Structure 1
Amino acid sequence: MEGQRFPLQACISGWSMLNRQAAVIEDIYFDPRIPHAAYWPTSVKSLVMVPIRAPEPIGAIGAYWARQHRVSAAEVEMLQTPGRLHLGRPGEYPGVCRAGAPGRGAHGATGRGQPAPACGDRRA
């Protein structure tokens, strides 16, 4: 999965950003929002993805489980907390996924070519 690119509309981080809400998925293989082929070579079974700055998302933060896991409300809340912080203007922090033109996504890119577990990057 690392370094692969997906259109914003075709990955779970993009879904979370476009819908401005958390995606809580107990079994990734039963959720149509997941690009299943990308996860086959991984050990991921469950995940939660939350937008960073939900009113105007600039990226997404995800947590993954290697075993099927029912995500609790407390776990979602914990993951959403850093996503509510003000991160400045897009591009102000080059290591953080930043917003740009919608329609493209970089699942796993941080803007410096460094891998990140989940990133619905909306740069053109």
Structure 2
Amino acid sequence: MKDFMVYGSAHLLKLISKEKPDFSGKIKLRIDRLTEREAARYERKLNHWHEACGCELGAVFCILSLAGYCLFALVTLKIFNWSLIGNGLLVVFVSSLTGKISGITLAKYRFKKMVQALIKKLN
């Protein structure tokens, strides 16, 4: 795996530019102006948000929508029918997909803001 080594603001800018660098490993900060502890903290957060797939938020949305739909079904319906199952699956699927997309979007936003804050700190 090829890591992306960051030595200064120019390398950080590449991470949020339209032509992003091609790497399969981790982001490694080698910036003299940061202490080892600061660099490790930034690396951990940057790598977490860079690699985010949205699964955590997707799972939360899935569980909440499943619980909510079950509660709705128990309270409002008096008899069982198969459309109840189909509608429930649709609600859970759409909710999970919404959570996944929201998780990815939020991670990209946080990643960009962290890179911008780090650039500002270095300049």
TM-score by length of 1: 0.21
Pair member with larger Rg: 2
- Higher share of residues assigned helix: 2
- Higher share of residues assigned strand: 1
